[in-house]
Structure 1
Amino acid sequence: MDAQQIRAAYLAMMAERGHTIIDRASLVPHDDPTTLFTGSGMQPLLRFLLGETHPAGNRLADVQPCVRAQDIEEVGDNRHTTFFEMLGNWSLGDYFKAEQIPMFWSFLVDVVGLDPNRIYVSVFSGDAEHGIPRDEESADIWTDLFQKAGVSADRVDLITEEHGNDVGNQGARIAFYQDKNWWSRAGGPNEMPVGDPGGPDSEVFYYFPQVVHDTAYGRFPHQNSDGGQYLEIGNSVFMQYRRAAGDDGAGFAELPHRNVDYGGGLERIAAAAIDSPDVFRVSLLWPIIEKLQGLSGKSYDDETHAMRIVTDHVRGAVFLAADGVSPSNREAGYVMRRLLRRAIRFATELGVENNVLAPLVDVVADIYADSYPEVGEKRETIVKVLQKEERAFRRTLNKGLRELRHIAKENRPITGDDFFTLSDTFGFPVELSTEEAQRQGLVLSTDWRAEFDDRREEQRRRSQAATKLGAHE
């Protein structure tokens, strides 16, 4: 199955099992000032998970486009993207572990066709300090599913990611962790404020034996290692507790209604379906790579890192534009500008020195026009928005690169004043400037950030003074 077929099959299966299919939310939340972007399928539904009644009922499902700008520096490896689609289903006080885990298993194995021998899971190891039991129920359900498929289901206690890095999972199918398998808005049980909900979760990973474990992430591989062999493809949160008030504020109480919050990465499941540890080879991304190969005359195998960055960033920017975002120097617009300027910079490295964005917008729009009609319908507007940003940045890109090369010849650390000049004069976002400086092997001064912030604050004060003076005149 390709990604488009997986998306359709998931929604069909959820509808058959009594879920109402709800519309996706905007990438830019309009009623949540705490975050710039919708970063998970759960985020728009949080108030319903906290107890508010949803008008569509207590069984819901959708496919939610997401943006996680915090992952921008990770893009370039085989699995991180700033934009992705999240398959989601929710039970608001209806079914729980006994139905959710087999339903997810059936989707992966019976519908998508994944090999049960390559599926590994993790569950919550318990927290004696807070009186939260070890999640033997989830482990037993997984054991039964594995055994019925003729797969061994050994268990191992790893507790922390660090311990897992030292000892590995020793081939165990089910790994127990503590904070890594606990969900709350704040983190582990200790970090939760009074009144907040949370609960254990069970994560599912697909194993790629063809990947050599990267020992930079620990001596041995295990489910929660970033070493590359295990790719997380889904997570079921069993939200059943709230932090309760008490003499020491450490108590937990059961929620009146237990909820299920499932999220699965569409691109990652699609990668597992084609037995590729590289998510950029799935049907939602590979056509963009192919177009980029044609524009640059270079191959993906030779220019993997740069092509992944351009592909991811342009796709994300297209969806942001479809949801009404324009490049700017503030909030969501600033992130969009950073994505586009990084894409343009890496396209230049590939030898595409003009008009890279418009041809890639067409490819993205063709990929998503059926599933997200708004992307196809707004194609011309999106092209205009992105082309305008490309023309503006192209005018300053070469000047900024020359300035960096000039600094490099001075054989000195690059300072906050240098970065401010690059930002103020040449239009380089500071994140792009620091990244480019490091790519050129420049040493950054130890206090460059404070210097940069001081210059920016000084400019802000001057701008305010000029505005007040103009008003008096």
Structure 2
Amino acid sequence: MTINEIRTKYLEFFKERGHAVIPSASLVPQNDPTTLFTGSGMQPLLPYLLGKDHPEGKRLVDSQKSFRAEDIEEVGDNRHTTFFEMLGNWSLGDYFKKEQLSWFFEFLTDELGLDPSRLYVTTFIGDEKSGIPRDTESAAIWKDLFSKKGIDAREVVIGSGEDGYRLGMQGGRIFYYDAKKNWWSRAGTPDNMPAGEPGGPDSEVFYDFGTLHDLKFGRECHPNCDCGRFLEIGNSVFMQYIKNPSTSSGRSSFSKLPRQNVDFGGGLERLAAATAENPDVFATDAFRDILELLSHFSGKAYDDSRYTRSFRVIADHVRAAVFMLVAGVLPSNTERGYVLRRLIRRAALHAGNIGTGDKDAADSMLVRAAIITIEKYKNAYPELSGEEAYENIRREIWKEEVQFGKTLEKGMREFEKLATKGHVSGEAAFTLFTTYGFPFEMTQELAHERGLDVDERTIFSLKHFK
């Protein structure tokens, strides 16, 4: 099933259940100086989750463009991307757990056709010291939903993620985890929340790809294991509580919110991977055409482990760059522009790794990949339509690629000199950045790939000084 088909099915499913379809907010947050990019579906709707009335009503649904810069270094495995679409639906004081969990389960099994025996869920274990009970309500709903599919859903108490590696699956279907895994508030766990702050338990759904457990991650596998067997495909947050002022003895407590809300988020690309029964999100149609382009012109195979990471970095970073550019971000050495510059330059470096370095715009793999992205998404996101958007994206990517190419050769020569010494100092990394345009992160990555010792602490301080 394609990402366009899944997105359309999701929006229509909840529209039929009384939800207003709202457009995606900009990738560049409006009136929010605390963050560079929109990183979740919840972010633009937070004022309404905290009590403000939404002009479209109490039931909302959308697909939100999202970007998380902290995942840049993680790109290269089979599940991390920087840019992604987050499918979301919200209840602002209307329906609650029964409707939300039932509808999402119906969407997964009846609309997407996922095998319910491949689905596992987690709920909140409770917090005794804060007086917050175990979320047995969600567990009971899940138990009934699985039962209707002929599945006996056994409940298993895990606790922390570390406990999961010790306790394992135990034949369970519904798993209780602690606040680090199954609680949401802006401040984190209940003990970190200030008085007056709302929060609540969440319930995640994982898809089981059935791959063998990798013991390097822990003795036993469990839904929150990082070995790759399980992939989280959706999370329902139930904003149910508000924290009370502490007592004179310092004890904290929580009360039920008068208006309880639902916030759901599910990664579109992850849902597509589940429908394909393939844990590699880059094998979905979101990236497939770009990978085929790169394979054709490089003569390299995506599944050749020597090049897989480069294929993934190029595909992810170009897609992210396209959506940043159409949001008005331009490459620079500060803030959003620096993140965009870093993405394009990393993609260009990896294009060289697979032998597709380019001499003109017509041959640029990055520009061609950007055009594929525009064609893939322009119907869902009209801002990508039209000659102006096309020309701007093409021009800015090629301009940055050319600028980087002029400094790359000199910078690499300087880096090779450092490599002979077996150590990269913070001062040397700073010189590579200021003189040759090498982002600090690129110097670190190259050093790690060569097994060189790196002065991480000095590089960190210099990065923040700049």
Moved segments of 4+, more than 6 Å: none
- Residues 447 and 21 of structure 1: CA distance in aligned 2, closer, same or farther (over 3 Å): closer
User: 2 CA distance for matches of 1:290 and 1:151?
Assistant: 40
Within-5 A mapping of 1:7-406: 7-179=7-179, 180-209=181-210, 211-247=211-247, 248=250, 250-302=252-304, 303-354=307-358, 355-377=364-386, 378-406=389-417
Deviation at 1:319, TM superposition (A): 0.4
Deviations 1:309-346 (A, max 9, x none): 11001100100101111111111111111111111111
Show the counterpart of 1:469: none
SS class of match (1:360): helix
SS of the aligned residue for 2:142 comes to helix
Distance in 2 between residues matched to 1:257 and 1:451, nearest whole Å = 45
Task: Name 2:361's counterpart in structure 1.
Answer: none
How far apart in 1 are the matches of 2:74 and 2:162?
20
In the alignment, residue 374 of structure 1 is paired with which amino acid?
E
- In the alignment, the residues of structure 1 paired with residue 231 and residue 171 of structure 2 have an alpha-carbon distance, to the nearest angstrom, of 15
Give secondary structure in 2 for the equivalent of 1:23: coil
- Would the aligned equivalents of 1:4 and 1:283 in 2 still touch at CA under 8 Å? no
Residue 440 of structure 1 is matched in structure 2 by: 450
- C-alpha separation in 1, matches of 2:162 and 2:442: 32
Matches within 5 A, 1:406-445: 406-409=417-420, 411-445=421-455
SS at match of 2:224: coil
SS of the residue 2:436 aligns to: coil
Alpha-carbon distance in 2 for matches of 1:214, 1:429: 34
User: May I ask how many residue pairs the two structures share in their alignment?
Assistant: 454
CA contact (8 A) 1:318 1:361 kept: yes
Assess, with a 3 A threshold, how the Cα gap between structure 1 residues 145 and 446 changes in structure 2: closer, same or farther.
closer
Q: 1: distance between equivalents of 2:113 and 2:214?
A: 28
Query: How many angstroms apart in 2 are the aligned matches of 1:196 and 1:17?
Result: 30
Retained in 1: the 8 A contact 2:195–2:246? no
Contact 1:27 1:66 in 2 (8 A): yes
Query: Take 1:422 and 1:233, find their aligned partners in 2: how far apart are those partners?
Result: 41
The code of the aligned residue for 2:225 comes to: S
Structure-2 separation of matches of 1:8 and 1:345: 36
Which position in structure 2 is the counterpart of 1:465?
none
Structure 1 Cα separation of the partners of residues 68 and 456 of structure 2: 29
Shift of 1:27: 0.4
Between the aligned partners of 2:309 and 2:355, the Cα distance in structure 1 is: 14
CA distance in 1, matches of 2:415, 2:167: 45
Q: Distance in 1 between matches of 2:72 and 2:413?
A: 25
The 2-side partners of 1:155 and 1:216 are apart by 26
CA distance in 1 between partners of 2:455 and 2:38 (Å): 35
Q: Is 2:76–2:312's contact at 8 Å kept on the other side of the alignment? A: yes
SS of 1:285's equivalent in the other structure is helix
| Distance in 2 (alpha carbons) for counterparts of 1:174 and 1:198 | 22
Pairwise CA distance, 1:450: 6.4
Q: Using the TM superposition, give the Cα deviation of residue 32 of structure 1 relative to its aligned residue in structure 2, in angstroms.
A: 0.8
Contact 1:194 1:249 survives alignment (8 Å) = no
Q: Does the CA-based 8 Å contact 1:86-1:263 persist in structure 2?
A: yes
Give structure 1 stretches of 5+ with no counterpart: 461-473
> Which blocks of at least 5 consecutive residues in structure 2 are unaligned?
359-363
Residues 451, 30 of structure 1: alpha-carbon distance in 2 compared, 3 angstrom cutoff:
closer
For residues 446 and 80 of structure 1, the distance between their equivalents in structure 2, rounded to whole angstroms, comes to 24
Q: Output the CA distance in 2 between the equivalents of 1:150 and 1:72.
A: 42
The Cα of 1:72 is off from its aligned counterpart by 0.9
The CA deviation string for residues 326-380 of structure 1, in whole angstroms up to 9 with x for no partner, is: 1111111111111111111111101111122111111101111111121232111
2 CA distance for matches of 1:288 and 1:51? 43
Task: State the alpha-carbon separation in 1 of the partners of residues 214 and 65 from structure 2.
Answer: 30
- Residue 447 of structure 1: how far off its partner (Å): 4.6
Letter in 1 for 2:321: A
1:130-172 CA-to-partner distances (Å, cap 9, x unmatched) read 1111001100100011111011201111110000012212231
Secondary structure class of the residue paired with 1:232 = strand
Is the CA contact 2:426–2:456 (under 8 Å) kept in the aligned structure 1? no
Determine helix, strand or coil for the equivalent of 1:419.
Answer: helix
**Contact 1:415-1:447 at 8 Å conserved across structures:** no
Cα separation, partners in 2 of 1:189 and 1:359, compared to 1, 3 Å: same
Q: Which letter does structure 1 place at the counterpart of 2:447?
A: A
Deviation, 1:212, is 2.5
- TM-score under structure 1 normalisation? 0.94
Return the TM-score normalized by structure 2: 0.95
Report % sequence identity. 52
Contact 1:158–1:169 (8 Å) recurs in 2: no
Q: Over residues 209-230 of structure 1, what are the superposed CA-to-partner deviations in whole Å (9 max), with x where a residue is unaligned?
A: 1x23222321111111111100
Please give the alpha-carbon distance, in whole angstroms, between the structure 1 residues aligned to 2:83 and 2:443: 23
Seen in structure 2, the aligned counterparts of structure 1 residues 172 and 441 have a Cα distance that, compared at 3 Å, is same
